[in-house]
Structure formats: C-alpha cells, structure tokens
Amino acid sequence: MARKNKTGLKPAALKSATKSASTRPSEERVRSRAYEIYTERRHSGVYGHATDDWIAAERQLQARDKKAQDSAVVAAAFMWAEYR
C-alpha cells in the first residue's frame, strides 16, 4: 500500500493536485488582466504605469491560481477520504 501524508492523499494524487501550484500564469492571461487593470484605472482618472499594471496582474492571477489550487487539494483529500 502506498504511503500517505497528513492530507490523507497518496503521494501521486497529491503531486498531481499540486502540480500547477508552482506554475506562473500565461503571458496571455497576464496581458489581459493588466489591460483590465489599465482600463479600470483610466476610467477612474488615476495615472499609472504599464509595468505596475503588469506586476499587479501577475500577483492577482497567482493568488487566484493558488486559491483555486488549495481548493482542489482539499477537494481531492475529501474525495480520497470518502473512497477509503
């Protein structure tokens, strides 16, 4: 029987569930979100820089992806617990 960690998942299941946690958002997603930030800022009359928008977009997308990944790990743990 495969060894389990404290989440209750087998190592292979945990690895697949956390695989994309370390990946960065695609350039297309970052570009799109940076443009959204730019248009929101422009409509509110606030000046800024494209680099700041890009960095903010990357951080926001990474936070969203991490939150979604954490939810996926929890869901996988519950599914595995019910399976056992």
Q: Where are the domains of the chain?
A: 28-83
Distance CA 34, CA 37 (A): 5
Provide the whole-model pTM: 0.58
Please tell me which residue, 15 or 48, carries the higher pLDDT value: 48
pLDDT tens, residue by residue, 10-43 = 555 555 545 544 578 999 999 999 999 999 999 9
Question: SS3 of 2, please?
Answer: coil
Per-residue confidence at 1, pLDDT binned at 50, 70, 90?
A: very low
Beta strands in the chain (DSSP E): none
The pLDDT score that the predictor gives to residue 84 is 59
Mean pLDDT of 39-60: 94
Tokens encoding 67: 């939150």
Residue 63 has pLDDT above 80, yes or no: yes
